[in-house]
Chain A
Amino acid sequence: MPKITVDRLVVGMCLAEPITNEHGLVLINEGIELTEALIEKIKNLRIESVKIKGDSKPEETKEEMILALEERFKYAISYPHMDTIKKIIKEHIERLYE
């Protein structure tokens, strides 16, 4: 889900997460399609960014990303902890495609 700044919202975008006030009360629910009036309302709330629905998967395919990752770690992989770090990042990348 891409997180975008409020000034970049356009009519027709869908909220991926509800917008709440500082106490956590829902002001605009998730899944709502944005209208001009709603965008105006969000701007007045003085919030920085919102999550909108949509495809935020990276441009490369998962296989390309993993291959590049293996390449990057070739040099240092035998050093302590590098295998752990690589594993965490690999899982992170895989999750981007779920």
Chain B
Amino acid sequence: MNELDIRTIRSSIEKINTLPTIPNVLKKLLKMLENPATSLNDIGHFISHDPIITTKVLRMINSPIYGFPGRIYSVNQAVILLGLNVVKGLLLSVSVYDLMKKVMMGLWEHSLACAITSRLMAKKKGLKEPEESSIAGLLHDIGKVALILQFQGYYETAMSTADKKNIPIMDAEKELFNINHATAGEWMAEKWSFPRNLIEIIGYHHKPHISRNFPVETSIVHLADILVRGRGFGFAGDRTVPPVNETAWALLNLSNNDIKEILKELEESMGMANELFIE
């Protein structure tokens, strides 16, 4: 059977949680998320019984990714303040952080900058929970992690193709795998029982015009990705800024000045955020 047959790719991606490289904590977390009866309380317990996770969660929560005004000192306080969806996303980001750092140099920095930019944009658009946009920004490229974990050799080929032809990495992925990282990410997110909004944003962040339930949130991550690549923070597999989707651009309707302000705040936050995550 062809290794790059689309069904084979899908099943490989859906099996990622069984890889030995996946930390046990993440495995436990995924089990919890699978169970619809898991409550905010259960998750609070899960975090506070693991001192390493506790530290990581508090560090992440107090970073510019979320931008809360005061310092958050305890897991309980965090859980109450943030609610179930955000806490789930937060835990996923904490667990995926190590994987991201492992698979592609610069992908973490790219994702971090996208998280901050998405949050700033969500605030500008008056969204009620800008933290959800932080998480979406942080996890939007999870499909790249999936493809690299399962098909490292092929992914390197896609990266060289993108480089040689000067095309976006998603086009090179498509040539090779018949799908791009957004689809891979969507499969992984579904399998991992991510919250609905996250699955849709991850799956459609390169075609936000067909996002049905979260068009604004998806457009935010789409444009954040472009701004961050344009500014040159991190590395996401290629050196090319992809074109902006016209529907998303019109929907967000940001003024030049809005974008300037977002970039300025992003710039200030990045120095601080990078410092925070150096181990």
Contacts and interface: CB of A to CB of B under 8 A. Distances in A.
B71 A46 contact: yes
A38 to B, nearest CB: 19
Interface in B52-79: 62, 69-71
> Which of A73, A81, A95 lies at the interface centre, i.e. has the most chain B CB atoms within 10 A of its CB?
A81
Interface in B242-274: 242-244, 246, 249, 256, 259-260, 263-264, 267-269, 271-272
Interface string A51-72: 1000010000000010011011
Interface residues of B, number: 33
Given A5-B272, A75-B167, 5 more contacts: A3-B268, A65-B232, A72-B241, A80-B244, A80-B249
Interface of A: 2-5, 8, 46-49, 51, 56, 65, 68-69, 71-76, 79-82, 84-86, 88-89, 91-93, 95-96
Contact of B263 (A56, A80, A92): A92
Contacts of A86: 230
15 contacts: A3-B271, A4-B271, A47-B71, A48-B71, A72-B232, A74-B240, A75-B241, A81-B244, A81-B249, A85-B230, A88-B260, A92-B263, A92-B264, A92-B267, A95-B264
B50 interface: no
B272 A69 contact: no
Interface of B: 62, 69-71, 166-168, 226-227, 229-232, 239-244, 246, 249, 256, 259-260, 263-264, 267-269, 271-272, 275-276
Nearest to B271: A2
B256 A84 contact: yes
Contacts of B246: 80-81
Contact of A89 (B69, B227, B240, B268): B227
Contacts of A81: 244, 246, 249
Nearest to B258: A88
Given A79-B243, A85-B244, A72 B230 contact: yes
B231 to A, nearest CB: 6
Contacts of A89: 227, 230-231, 263
A85 B245 CA distance: 12
A61 to B, nearest CB: 14
B266 to A, nearest CB: 9
Contacts of A56: 271
